[in-house]
Amino acid sequence: MSEEHKTSPYRRYSNDLEAGITDYNDEDDSDPFDILRTKSASVDRLKRWRQAALVLNASRRFRYTLDLKKEEEKKQGITKIRTHAQVIRAAYLFQAAAHKEPGKQVTAAPKLPITAVPSGDYGSKAEELASMTRDHDFSALQNYGGVNGLADTLKTSLDKGINGTEANILERKDVYGSNTYPRKKGRSFWSFLLDACRDTTLIILMVAAAASLILGIKTEGISEGWYDGGSIALAVIIVIFVTAFSDYKQSLQFQTLNEEKQNIHLEVTRGGRRVEISIFDIVVGDIIPLKIGDQVPADGVLVSGHSLAIDESSMTGESKIVQKDQKAPFLMSGCKVADGYGTMLVTSVGINTEWGLLMATISEDNGEETPLQVRLNGVATFIGIVGLTVAVAVLVVLLARYFTGHSKDDEGKQEFFPGKTKASDAVDGAIKIFTIAVTIVVVAVPEGLPLAVTLTLAYSMRKMMADKALVRRLSACETMGSATTICSDKTGTLTLNMMTVVDAYICGKKFDPSENQSVLPPKVASLLIEGIAQNTTGSVFLSKGGEVEVSGSPTEKAILQWGVNLGMAFDAVRSGASIIHAFPFNSEKKRGGVAVQLTDSDVHVHWKGAAEIVLACCTSYISVDEGLVPIEEDQRILFKKAIEDMAAGSLRCVALAYKKCDKANVPDNEELAHWQLPEDDLVLLAIVGLKDPCRPSVKVAVQLCIDAGVKVRMVTGDNLQTARAIALECGILQSDADATVPYIIEGKTFREYSEADRLMAAEKISVMGRSSPNDKLLLVQALRKNGHVVAVTGDGTNDAPALHEADIGLAMGIQGTEVAKESSDIIILDDNFASVVKVVRWGRSVYANIQKFIQFQLTVNVAALVINVVAAVSAGDVPLNAVQLLWVNLIMDTLGALALATEPPTDHLMKRSPVGRREPLITNIMWRNLLIQALYQVTVLLVLNFHGKSILNLEHKEKGHAEKLKNTLIFNAFVLLQLFNEFNARKPDEINVFKGVTKNRLFVGIVGLTLVLQVVIIMFLGKFTTTVRLSWKLWLVSIVIGFISWPLAAIGKLIPVPDKPLSEFFSRKSLRRRTSRGSAG
């Protein structure tokens, strides 16, 4: 095996100097909450931000972050399984080596005899088959009579597979089990309820409520004394239940998405035809074709294969590639095909495999933090510290005023008389003050702020599934909103991936591909049909009705269909010769070949690949009269011109060639595996042009990206002229003037640049043709070093390094290999570029929704804190009591997050520039809106607090009732202000805040529900909230106060704000101060 394949092709990115890969760290260690790429962050870095965060309820706050303890347990579990696999492998190698030593007798370990007792109607038990494959027990396989005997035992055909009837599949599942494993049940609602109860402040409030309840009953009796403590306890219970329910609903959404991630679809051969099924539907006895990039879906044995190499690192932990052949036929579930192709017979499924045991013992989804989530924890910590300071200040001031006799009750009487007031009354008063201070902490520490990210991500991920995008990593969802460039494949992403042969050059002349073989010389037709049928990983199935079903990759299907049109009898050609060696298609060499042993002992080597590359290896072609004609320079120019003309017409050009080998030059069995197929002096058979039309929606999608400030670059393995033609058609290149160097470039040219030149060239590249996966990787690295946030699409195994290196890796769901999908962050289920653009919209929507929620929540925080502090310090009392503040907290945290974090994306988002990853979360526009609303709310409510009685003409009313009426109005106005401001928060930079509001039913529903509950609280629950009923006039006053926030917000949005973020202005100012101090010193 060549040196490049000794390790897994998709593990080489970690430290590959030869490939130009260097590790560079774009993280700034100074701020624990500034992590740009959580998928590459170290454990120490993740620990740092957790330790720096101010948290009231750790189990809830860190629920959707990576559980570092569980991650360690998971690694230990994997290590145990891998150790077992390594022991088996070592024993197998030891036995194999011992057998090779001449004259040395080795006694094989005694094996259990194959039982004669059938399992169902089959001649072997699940345990025996599992043991054979798990222990790589070659002698047990021989006892069955090899692969053929095992197939007979399992009642399957190596060519046609099982018959595939529903009854047969159910019977096999009953006997051997299904290809599933026991999964840990999702968390119940009660566990989320328990988590919600662990909030430190809520626990303190419950203790305070209990104390207040006891003292109240003791002093006032049970009929009246239970209201103060009972109302707080009830409010806390409601908060806990609503929080738990919201969290539980989120977890169900994540659970559904995780199940979707594991549902791999693959082809199996049943009843002679290839059918696509779910990995969970595989049964023992299935025949499964394997190709490069596939995941081995179950344990089994190799039926046939060519250059088949398996990466067993997922099981053994070693990245060394293991060759599979008839001497080493055992395949382990969960491993990846690193090279070659073949077919396997399934012998064990589900829990009977090592992989099944591994997956059953570890939790598949172990959480993951996102950069935005980490940053919001930083914001929440800062706000929390401010809130905590304010709460302590309020507590000290109120206690001091109370115990010095400056506090007065609702009747205006002094509450505390030193030496005269009963101890129980004094304690009760102190508890009430303490409860208010703790409630301020509940409101001030925005515990729900980081969790709002999870909420909006869960909502977005569910909606993105409908838009054909499956999110594998949460962080990718939000990072996509910052993407500045998308490096896209051509075939299948920008095009339909529905290829047909529309042009052909055969015998040096142009032929109409729609015509049958009668127009071709018999010898040429025979060789063409032989090459098409033998040198393919696809297949042709002829149904009983005479209909032809062609399967394989789009390129393979197109050429096979052309072969069928030429009169190819696929099965007859395949059975008339045998493949003795193969060189699987390689994305580096852009070609693949097979050596075919014919019945007359001749050996033909057939090659197929990129037209200009195969043509370069050809020295002759067959003429119309079947003579061998050397390719002179003028003829070579004609062939090249034919290729260029096809490419200019946006056709993919493929050449077919062959070489006749002398049997004496073909190595024997031992050396055959290492034989390099001859690739010189080939005979050109045909050059064909395959048409793959652009997707109808792609031009609009590309233009949307350009308008959004996202540059689209095409990176393809196709001919540069083909790539140029498609790029012009798609709108990636705007005109012929753009379709020149340096905007279009060949991968080889880019590869040969120095690193400095690559960085300069990368900025200008729009199209890269004839690129290798390594060229794509170098382009991604250059763009990232230039400061771009890069999204990359990929479908092949060798795309894995680029997908991993990119900020967002987008794998194709239809054509993508399992290796590519595992290295990606998002899977595009329909392989459509338009779906990639939808992901960009959703990414921007996530960021925008979080900003809306921050603006809304901070407005409530600032207003509530300022009102309570000013009132406490000046009047010794607070207008908003504990129960009222808990209701405000519920509106702000849970209901507010649900309303604002689930806003669907709008076209307006795609008219902005990408969101900078170091851009402040609170923009200048948000500061403007926030300060205007907070200032208005604080002013109005403080005026009501200090002059409300005179404004409302309440002086003549009984003092206690007047005070309650004033405070009720303040509470009602405050809640309605938040409801009206919720509309303002929807559109931070637009005048019309009602645009599209009816499309978000959840928003309308939550606002309506909150309003109804507020009416119920004021009109019917006065005993619990210490409020009184308001007249319709005072309701009107409350509504008018809230309504004014709408025109005020509209006027405020006309005020211009500087482009430079406020945070940057202050940081530079403080830096100047430090610098001036340092120079003075």
Catalytic residues: 489
Please give the Cα distance from 451 to 63 (Å, whole number).
Answer: 9
**Which residue in 714, 599, 64, 652 sits closest to 374, CA to CA?**
64
- Cβ neighbour number for residue 587 with a 10 Å cutoff: 16
Residues of the chain by 3-state class (helix, strand, coil), percent to 5: 55, 15, 30
**Which residue in 655, 654, 658, 656 sits closest to 681, CA to CA?**
658
Strands 767-769 and 744-746: parallel
**Which residue in 1039, 887, 854 sits closest to 453, CA to CA?**
854
Please give the Cα distance from 947 to 1036 (Å, whole number).
Answer: 19
- Cβ neighbour number for residue 1037 with a 10 Å cutoff: 19
**Six-digit token pair at 1028?**
């009184």
- All residues at 6 or more sequence positions from 44 whose CB lies less than 8 Å from its CB, including other chains: none
Residues making up the chain, counted from first to last = 1081
Instruction: Label residues 548-575 b or e (16+ Cβ within 10 Å = b).
Output: eebbbbbbbbbbbbbbbebebebeebbe
Reduced to 3 states, what is the DSSP secondary structure of residue 58?
Answer: helix
Please give the Cα distance from 138 to 156 (Å, whole number).
Answer: 20
Using CA atoms of 989, 993, 995, 1001 in order, give the dihedral in degrees to the nearest 10. 120
Reduced to 3 states, what is the DSSP secondary structure of residue 460?
Answer: helix
**Six-digit token pair at 901?**
């974090």
744 and 727 Cβ atoms separated by less than 8 Å: yes
Please give the Cα distance from 517 to 325 (Å, whole number).
Answer: 37
**Six-digit token pair at 958?**
């009984």
725 and 732 Cβ atoms separated by less than 8 Å: no
Q: What is the 3-state secondary structure (H, E, C) of 362-382?
A: CCCCCCCCCHHHHHHHHHHHH
User: Measuring CA to CA, how many Å separate 572 from each of 515, 527, 529, 567, 685?
Assistant: 21, 14, 11, 12, 21
Q: Give 1016-1057 as a DSSP string.
A: HHHHH-HHHHT--PPPHHHHHHHHHHHHHHHHHHHHHTTS--
827 and 847 Cβ atoms separated by less than 8 Å: no
Q: Name the region of 878 (left: φ>0; alpha: ψ -120 to 50; beta: rest).
A: beta
Distance of CA 298 to the CA centre of its chain: 25
**Which residue in 693, 656, 679, 658 sits closest to 563, CA to CA?**
656
Q: Name the region of 658 (left: φ>0; alpha: ψ -120 to 50; beta: rest).
A: beta
Using CA atoms of 368, 371, 374, 379 in order, give the dihedral in degrees to the nearest 10. -150
Reduced to 3 states, what is the DSSP secondary structure of residue 308?
Answer: strand
**Six-digit token pair at 794?**
């990929």
Q: Which residues pair with 978 in a beta bridge?
A: none
Please give the Cα distance from 196 to 199 (Å, whole number).
Answer: 6
Tell me: cis bond preceding 371? Omega within 30 of 0 counts. no
